[in-house]
Chains A and B, each alone.
Chain A
Amino acid sequence: MLLVVEQFLNGLQFGLLLFLLAAGLTLVFGIMDLVNLAHGSLYMMGAYFAATFAAWTGSFLLGSLLALGATLVLGIVLEMSALRHLYGRDHLDHVLATFGLILFFNEAVRLIWGPAGLALPLPAWLTVPVPILPGIHYPAYRLAIIVVALLVALLLYLGVMRTRIGMLIRAGASNREMIGALGINIKLLYTLVFGLGAALAGLAGLMQAPILTVQIGMGENILILAFVIIVIGGIGSIRGAFLAAIFVGMIDTLGRAFLPNLLRQVLSGAAASTAAPALSSMLIYLLMAIVLVVRPEGLFPANRR
């Protein structure tokens, strides 16, 4: 029981983190039609900035806030210097150019911070276990991630659905030329959206940092999960990204936690322990394959015509 609740919350926490990453990716794709592989690099930069700023200021919260701002600025600079020139080009061009950016970021990090990973220690008040149900404790920091990510998801929803900028963003997603013709500064809007996506990726990175080590290439594996999520959820759809992210986070976490035991009931011990790690890492890809067979456009496609 304890394990089930704990793993369930871990899955939720991982899913929400994936959502932060996938939301930026899907926003940028839905509005600028840009495939950004370097999104994972922004996630990595968020974590590195947080580790550095937290060490400088001596405060986890202050360091995180500074890191968030730094990732936002980095995203804006990146958009204005390089990615802006890619709008309207072939998707293949996007893939290659942003692939080049990944090489650049990984190497730059190695040059600046060195090849060894960094650690981002948590303040004491975040490390205590919190009782959530009678007899069940859960780490405060992981709970904090869930709360922050849910808040951000809510703000994002309200921002996109209820504010003027959100209206422009949605209008830009459905018809780029038209809102340009209506006198909206589309360049500025694009830069803003990209910066927002970068900040979301940075937030995911800095929140994940204390749980894992901060290291080069940390953004790449999780980026591919984010891709799987937006394919399952339907490209360009934030709602789809949210549901798919929770789904993928749950399946991945629960699969890794319980699949070995389940397999052991069916197969012999040796066979189960060889098959389990491979199978549990395959689970989400199998899920994606099933979704593709049933709904090639994803579960919640953005432009339903």
Chain B
Amino acid sequence: MKAFTVSKAVTALMLAGLVLLPLYSQLSGNIFILTLFTRVVILALAAASLNLMMGYGGMMSFGHAAYLGIGGYAVGMLAQEGIGSGFIQFPVALAASALYALVIGALSLRTRGVYFIMITLAFAQMAYYVASGLARYGGDDGLTVYKRSDFSGLINLGNRTQFYYLCLACLFGVVFLIWRIVNSRFGLVVQGLRSNEQRMQAIGFPAKRYQLVCFVISGMMCGLAGALLANNTDFISPAVMYWTRSGDLMVMVILGGMGTLFGPVMGAVVYLLLEEFLSQLTEYWALIMGPLLLLIVLFGRGGIMGLLGRLNRG
């Protein structure tokens, strides 16, 4: 393994940029960029969690936005009921995501391939309709979170910079955790199942159980992103769970490079910045974004990370 590669250098640059961003925002007085990047970091966290399943576990979940909604609604509903403490809200968000992932995972993992894609999609859509039916919590219109999670003086989520660093710390923590998981015995089994499930089962690994645990871990990580997202927008609505959001997350993972540690983070940064740039350029930004996706799929093997890797060899 080479000590210096282009992809490592670009990754390091990106991470340094993310860490130093509040400083730039402060100096230039550009508050918008901090708000934008808080969103980027949160969705990068969600993309990283999806990557654990897709990239390493080989399970193509098309319903990951459901966890964004579940984590977000956990925060929003508790806040509505007068429980503002983050020490309760965040654990509940994680537990609710884990529970949902456990049930959905146990059902979905009975299938594979394209069935799995469709099943996870359909269940996420079910979660979407359930949220739309919650009349007490705003139904279709969504729920305003009047007070951000309260961590009793430890950290103030109302402060832009502090909130940004909390999100960034969560992202780094999750990426570190994924790195540890991927290189653990458990992670190796899950990756083995991706390459050849039959063979792994023949050696004696209970395939479904390993995959289910991976499914649940990934769901919890995304639930954390959901709890942060509700705090970021001060609002949660069923739209967060809409299936196009799941598609966005998938695109981020693929764009950055599936099965690479920092690829999804890079994918999220590039995708969301591109979206921002195009939407400033023209109101009809999706007219460009759509065919662009098609081209990336057709010609961009391995995403940005794959491209950087080829640069290195070339």
- B is a partner of A: yes
Task: Select which of A92, A103, A292 is within 8 A of B119 by beta carbon.
Answer: A292
Task: Select which of A224, A230, A278, A285 is within 8 A of B243 by beta carbon.
Answer: A224
Residues of B within 8 A of A227 (CB): 118, 121-122
Q: How far is the CA of A105 from the CA of B286 in the complex (A)?
A: 9
A88 to chain B, nearest CB (A): 12
Which residue, A91, A96, A231, has most C-beta atoms of chain B within 10 A?
A96
| Contact present for B286 and A107 (CB under 8 Å) | yes
Q: How far is the CA of A88 from the CA of B126 in the complex (A)?
A: 31
Interface residue ranges of B234-250 to A (CB < 8 Å): 243-244, 247, 250
Chain B positions 113 through 148: 1 when the CB is less than 8 Å from some CB of chain A, otherwise 0: 111011101110110011011111000000000000
Q: How far is the CA of A251 from the CA of B33 in the complex (A)?
A: 49
Given contacts A107-B286, A235-B114, A235-B115, contact A99 B293 (CB under 8 A): yes
| Contact present for A231 and B118 (CB under 8 Å) | yes
A189 to chain B, nearest CB (A): 21
Residues of A within 8 A of B126 (CB): 281-282, 285
Q: Let me know if B291 is at the binding interface, CB within 8 A.
A: yes
Which residue of chain B lies nearest to A231 when distances are taken between CB atoms in the complex? B118
Q: Let me know if B313 is at the binding interface, CB within 8 A.
A: no
Q: How far is the CA of A106 from the CA of B291 in the complex (A)?
A: 12
Residues of A within 8 A of B291 (CB): 100, 104
Q: Let me know if A267 is at the binding interface, CB within 8 A.
A: no
Q: How far is the CA of A55 from the CA of B261 in the complex (A)?
A: 54
| Contact present for A92 and B129 (CB under 8 Å) | no
Given contacts A100-B290, A103-B286, A111-B287, contact A281 B250 (CB under 8 A): no
| Contact present for A274 and B129 (CB under 8 Å) | no
Q: Let me know if B20 is at the binding interface, CB within 8 A.
A: no
Task: Select which of A228, A235, A293 is within 8 A of B107 by beta carbon.
Answer: A293
Q: How far is the CA of A106 from the CA of B284 in the complex (A)?
A: 10
Residues of A within 8 A of B115 (CB): 231, 235, 296
Which residue, B115, B132, B243, B297, has most C-beta atoms of chain A within 10 A?
B297
Interface residue ranges of A171-198 to B (CB < 8 Å): none
A85 to chain B, nearest CB (A): 6
Q: How far is the CA of A106 from the CA of B113 in the complex (A)?
A: 28
Q: How far is the CA of A231 from the CA of B111 in the complex (A)?
A: 10
Q: Let me know if B251 is at the binding interface, CB within 8 A.
A: yes
Residues of B within 8 A of A85 (CB): 298
| Contact present for B297 and A97 (CB under 8 Å) | yes
Q: Let me know if B16 is at the binding interface, CB within 8 A.
A: no
Q: Let me know if A110 is at the binding interface, CB within 8 A.
A: yes
Q: How far is the CA of A227 from the CA of B284 in the complex (A)?
A: 29
Q: How far is the CA of A263 from the CA of B2 in the complex (A)?
A: 66
Given contacts A91-B113, A285-B126, contact A277 B133 (CB under 8 A): yes
Q: How far is the CA of A99 from the CA of B123 in the complex (A)?
A: 18
Q: Let me know if B289 is at the binding interface, CB within 8 A.
A: yes
Residues of A within 8 A of B110 (CB): 292-293, 296
Residues of B within 8 A of A110 (CB): 284
Chain A positions 82 through 124: 1 when the CB is less than 8 Å from some CB of chain B, otherwise 0: 1001100101110111011111111110110000000000000
Q: Let me know if B56 is at the binding interface, CB within 8 A.
A: no
Q: Let me know if A8 is at the binding interface, CB within 8 A.
A: no
Interface residue ranges of A274-298 to B (CB < 8 Å): 274, 277-279, 281-282, 285, 288-289, 292-293, 296
Residues of A within 8 A of B107 (CB): 289, 292-293
Interface residue ranges of A24-41 to B (CB < 8 Å): 29, 35
| Contact present for A278 and B121 (CB under 8 Å) | no
Residues of A within 8 A of B297 (CB): 86, 89, 93, 96-97, 100
Q: Let me know if B169 is at the binding interface, CB within 8 A.
A: no
Q: How far is the CA of A93 from the CA of B119 in the complex (A)?
A: 17
Sample of 5 more A-B contacts, CB < 8 Å, known A100-B290, A103-B289: A103-B293, A107-B287, A224-B121, A224-B122, A274-B134
**Contact surface of A with B, Cβ cutoff 8 Å:** 29, 35, 82, 85-86, 89, 91-93, 95-97, 99-108, 110-111, 220-221, 224, 227-228, 230-231, 235, 274, 277-279, 281-282, 285, 288-289, 292-293, 296
Instruction: Name 20 A/B residue pairs within 8 A (Cβ), A-sorted.
Output: A85-B298, A91-B117, A95-B247, A96-B247, A100-B294, A100-B297, A103-B289, A104-B291, A108-B287, A110-B284, A111-B284, A220-B244, A231-B118, A274-B134, A278-B134, A281-B132, A285-B122, A292-B110, A292-B119, A296-B115
Q: Which 3 A-B pairs have the closest CB atoms?
A: A100-B293, A104-B290, A278-B133
